[in-house]
Amino acid sequence: MKAFDPNYKLLDEMYQDDYYPVFLVDKVKDELQKIIDLLESG
């Protein structure tokens, strides 16, 4: 799999929306990053 674009901001719209608490968006982002790392490693 080709590498994920490092300039792409994960969950950017969720960070801008006050409905979502930042600490929870951070948790989701951390889990997504784990998945991205796993897929990139093969």
Question: pLDDT for 9-39, tens place per residue?
Answer: 999 999 999 999 999 999 999 999 999 999 9
Could you tell me if residue 7 is inside a domain?
no
Query: What's the pTM?
Result: 0.82
Could you tell me if residue 30 is inside a domain?
yes
> What is the token pair recorded at 12?
């950017």
Could you tell me if residue 3 is inside a domain?
no
Other CB atoms closer than 10 Å to residue 8's CB: what's the count? Answer: 8
1 or 18, which is more confident: 18
List the domain range (segments joined by +) for residue 37. 12-41
How many domains does the chain fold into? 1
19 or 1, which is more confident: 19
Could you tell me if residue 28 is inside a domain?
yes
- Torsion sign, CA atoms 6, 8, 14, 16: positive
Could you tell me if residue 6 is inside a domain?
no
Could you tell me if residue 35 is inside a domain?
yes
